[in-house]
Structure 1
Amino acid sequence: MTQTDADKNRWLIAVSAVAIHLSIGSIYAYSVYQNPLRAELGWPISDVSLAFTVAIVFLALSAAFLGGFVEDHGPRVSGLVAAGTFGLGTVGAGFSVQIGSYVGFLLTFGVISGIGIGLGYIAPISTLVQWFPDRRGMATGMAVMGFGAGALVTGPIANYIMETVSIPATFYALGVGYFLLMAAGASYLKKPPAGWVPEGIDESEIETDNEKGVSVNTDLEELTAREALRTPRYYLVWLIMFVNISAGIMLLSVASPMTQAITGAEAATAASIVGIIGIFNGGGRLVWATVSDYIGRTTTYGTFFGLQIAAFLLLPQITHVWLFAALLFLVISAYGGGFACLPAYLGDLFGTKELSAIHGYTLTAWGAAGVAGPLLISEIVERTDSYVMSFYIVTAALVVGLIAVGTLFYQIEDVRESGHATGQDAVGADH
């Protein structure tokens, strides 16, 4: 195989993906709108919160059902459609607020923006994996870190515009800004040419194909999305993601009041901890995904569950606020890291032929966990007036997740030994 020069810089491809994810990651800053919307329009907190839930549900649905669209039309077109959809939904949310239409707000911010988030989330991922066959985890970690850090950028900007101008103007300005940033990123996205390999890498470690693109020749199998859905491995990955996300999102939904209730911390201290959590959510995505390139994805997920089991058992016993916070940071880093390692892991297990579609289907675990985690803890707290029982229930779920990781390890070994695998899964399982 001879190396083909690429007309794109793969590091700029990564920056383009970050630009898209940084924009759609603004969904995590939704809390800054809640009090202003209640104060200006009189919407109850449950109605305001519902818009966020609707957006998360449509994020998961669009990621699941539009993976084939990404495969058929490529990352550039998909990214531009995502930019238009997310930008339109955000601007539409501003118009809905201006005319006082709650239904319009649900349709624009919840449905239309949610679809844009889901499509934008998966659009660059398969392309990134193909541009970085030697550093899959790190590359996807960079993009998904942008998603986790989106709230850190949008939060203060949105708050400033709302205080100095108005809520509708905030959505108008952000909607236009999101569209421009996402469109710029999408315009540079392109899959690598056939025959291309990264400079300095052993070409014997890479396979290229006009249809499949660039992939690591040690991927366990090269499967279509439909074929992947017929394997037990896929459902084990789905269960692993569901448990990992449920644990993290449960803590995210009650981090401030829970910290105050268990440690006796002041509200200002708890608010500071919530802000730092955002750093670990974003930073953990890049750090853990990069680590997974060296220790293997299966080992990484096993580490997530081992650390979280210990953390959830200790959390109810800790009254020192910053020791309590340190355990929260650990759990949230694993929450973010799980998202970042997922695309690379799916590539390890199923190849890159239809990675966008497989990734999209797997993100339905996000939508399910986004409902299950917060509902679980709110129900337990209402019934017991305590957070303690929720820690032990989640610990049991994490044990199930750890068992799923172990089962997946043996599933990988069985595929290798059966002779059906395309090569040794060097990064997906333990070395």
Structure 2
Amino acid sequence: MKVTKNRWLIALSAIAIHISIGAAYAYSVYKKPLVETAGWSETDVTLSFTIMMALAGMSAAIFGKFVERQGPRKSALLAAVLFGLGQVGSGFAVSIDSSKLFLLTYGLLSGLGLGIGYISPVSTLVKWFPDRRGLATGMAVLGFGSGALATAPVAATLIVSVGIPSTFYILGACYITLMVLGASYIAPPKDGWMPDGMKKAIASGQKVIIKDLRQLTSKEAVKTKHFWMLWSMMLINTSAGIMMISVASPMAQDVVGLSAAAAATMVGIMGIFNGGGRLGWAAASDYIGRHNIFLIFFIIQIIAFATLPLTTNVLLFQLLIFLVVSCYGGGFSNLPAFIGDLFGTKQLGAIHGYLLTTWSLGGIIGPLLVSKIQGATGSYIPVFYVFLGMITLAFFISIMLRADIKKYRNQEQQKQAIA
């Protein structure tokens, strides 16, 4: 008799994978030592991280179907090998003073591993938590957001004590170990599996199952307007969040006169809101619905971007930035569960991969827009108005999506009633 796995250990396995690849966000710890100790140009050092981030979203899209075909275990193992070798290889590149090899190891290999590792456990988690989809994916994505928090102080200490190459070797070995351990336990449940508590609640009438809107393949999903509406919402939400993260410190110093030290503290607190938003908003979505959560995101950000250019209050300015960043994190954690609601779990990993192209594009659009606008005007104020317009567009798209979901459900109910 086959023993059913513990779904909370499945969640822990997913978190182990996501914490490892989330260490990528601690890259800033390496930048100064690489420039000053290795003597590499700042352009080459920055380019490695840019390649990694661009590949993360793109590889999630390219390898989405691979993840569905091979399953979460093999996919996560491949991610462990690619990401781990990328990190260990980065140490070797530094030891032989090859910035070009560093682009291939940290940029290419780690970027591919990051994208595959990000989507590998998510569709499995959604299947193990039919009663708490948002919470489950929120936990994993919180792990990703917390990776830098765990890695940055350790990496900084190791760089001083053992040097840059050995730091990459040690941490790379740790990432491989954690990811392999996570991959070895993770596996999908039987079709239609439900936890006992959910079965009892349904049997007693305490809980009514709201079925997924439909069960579609990735090829079918991308042909629907719902896919492109969600894609547009994610692109705008991601662009706004990454824009804010990329210039928060100089923006706060320029607009409300925050000191450099206070701005640095604010950036640290932003990380807490980014991570906390991933779990908090995702858990809330299980009760009020994913489409309503996105509506709330855009209402919050409309208020924020309308208020930011008008306020001189330092605390209010920072609070609004924190809220925008929490919506950014919450968008990523709500996305997999929203995909399940709209398109089912048949090929959730592949559809998730396609939608994560917004991650790569948002990483280009957000920082590019703010740098161009600020460079042309010498002020961050026009930036707020541009993003206010973009977020308002996303708000109207989310209203249309919400209405269309309701209309689709009503039509399906009418068809069933006639049948």
TM-score class normalised by the smaller sequence: over 0.9
Q: Does 1:60 align with 2:71?
A: no
State the alpha-carbon separation in 2 of the partners of residues 234 and 343 from structure 1.
Answer: 12
Counterpart among 250, 262, 281 of residue 255 in structure 2: 262
Q: Does 1:397 align with 2:394?
A: no
Counterpart among 23, 36, 41 of residue 39 in structure 1: 36
State the alpha-carbon separation in 2 of the partners of residues 283 and 341 from structure 1.
Answer: 13
Letter in structure 2 aligned against 1:353: K
Q: Does 1:81 align with 2:81?
A: no
Q: Does 1:378 align with 2:378?
A: no
Counterpart among 133, 153, 158 of residue 156 in structure 1: 153
Q: Does 1:131 align with 2:124?
A: no
Pairwise CA distance, 1:195 = 5.1
Deviates more, 1:377-386 or 1:5-14: 5-14
Letter in structure 1 aligned against 2:144: F
- Alignment check: 8 A CA contact 1:162 1:170 kept: yes
- The 3 A distance-change label for structure 1 pair 265 and 134 is same
Mapping for residues 75-224 of structure 1, pairs under 5 Å: 75-194=72-191, 196-202=193-199, 218-224=211-217
Pairwise CA distance, 1:204 = 9.0
Report the equivalent of 2:293: 300
Pairwise CA distance, 1:72 = 0.9
Counterpart among 333, 341, 349 of residue 348 in structure 1: 341
Report the equivalent of 2:206: none
Pairwise CA distance, 1:217 = 5.8
Q: Determine helix, strand or coil for the equivalent of 2:37.
A: helix
Q: Determine helix, strand or coil for the equivalent of 2:196.
A: coil
Report the equivalent of 2:46: 49
- Alignment check: 8 A CA contact 1:256 1:274 kept: yes
Q: Determine helix, strand or coil for the equivalent of 1:16.
A: helix
- The 3 A distance-change label for structure 1 pair 102 and 422 is farther
State the alpha-carbon separation in 2 of the partners of residues 66 and 420 from structure 1.
Answer: 36
State the alpha-carbon separation in 2 of the partners of residues 407 and 105 from structure 1.
Answer: 46
State the alpha-carbon separation in 2 of the partners of residues 121 and 244 from structure 1.
Answer: 19
Letter in structure 2 aligned against 1:124: P
Letter in structure 2 aligned against 1:404: I
- The 3 A distance-change label for structure 1 pair 328 and 42 is same
Deviates more, 1:316-325 or 1:18-27: 316-325
State the alpha-carbon separation in 2 of the partners of residues 420 and 221 from structure 1.
Answer: 13
- Alignment check: 8 A CA contact 1:94 1:172 kept: yes
Report the equivalent of 2:241: 248
Structure 2 length-normalised TM:
0.95
Structure 1 length-normalised TM:
0.92
Q: Determine helix, strand or coil for the equivalent of 1:187.
A: helix
State the alpha-carbon separation in 2 of the partners of residues 403 and 106 from structure 1.
Answer: 41
Counterpart among 410, 417, 423 of residue 403 in structure 2: 410
Counterpart among 8, 11, 16 of residue 13 in structure 2: 16
State the alpha-carbon separation in 1 of the partners of residues 264 and 68 from structure 2.
Answer: 42
Report the equivalent of 1:237: 230
Letter in structure 2 aligned against 1:130: K
CA RMSD of aligned residues (A): 1.8
- The 3 A distance-change label for structure 1 pair 8 and 308 is same
- Alignment check: 8 A CA contact 1:221 1:420 kept: no
Report the equivalent of 2:332: 339
- Alignment check: 8 A CA contact 1:220 1:421 kept: no
Letter in structure 1 aligned against 2:396: I
- The 3 A distance-change label for structure 1 pair 316 and 44 is farther
State the alpha-carbon separation in 2 of the partners of residues 222 and 134 from structure 1.
Answer: 18
- The 3 A distance-change label for structure 1 pair 420 and 163 is farther
Letter in structure 2 aligned against 1:72: R
Letter in structure 1 aligned against 2:215: E
Deviations 1:342-399 (A, max 9, x none): 0000000000000000000000011000011011111111111111111110110001
Question: Unpaired runs of 5+ in structure 1?
Answer: 207-215, 424-431
Pairwise CA distance, 1:422 = 10
Counterpart among 301, 305, 319 of residue 326 in structure 1: 319
Counterpart among 21, 24, 27 of residue 27 in structure 1: 24
State the alpha-carbon separation in 2 of the partners of residues 195 and 146 from structure 1.
Answer: 27
Pairwise CA distance, 1:323 = 2.1
Q: Determine helix, strand or coil for the equivalent of 1:114.
A: helix
Letter in structure 1 aligned against 2:80: A
- The 3 A distance-change label for structure 1 pair 314 and 138 is same
- Alignment check: 8 A CA contact 1:6 1:193 kept: no
- The 3 A distance-change label for structure 1 pair 262 and 200 is same
* Alignment: residue pair count: 411
- Alignment check: 8 A CA contact 1:246 1:370 kept: yes
- The 3 A distance-change label for structure 1 pair 96 and 296 is same
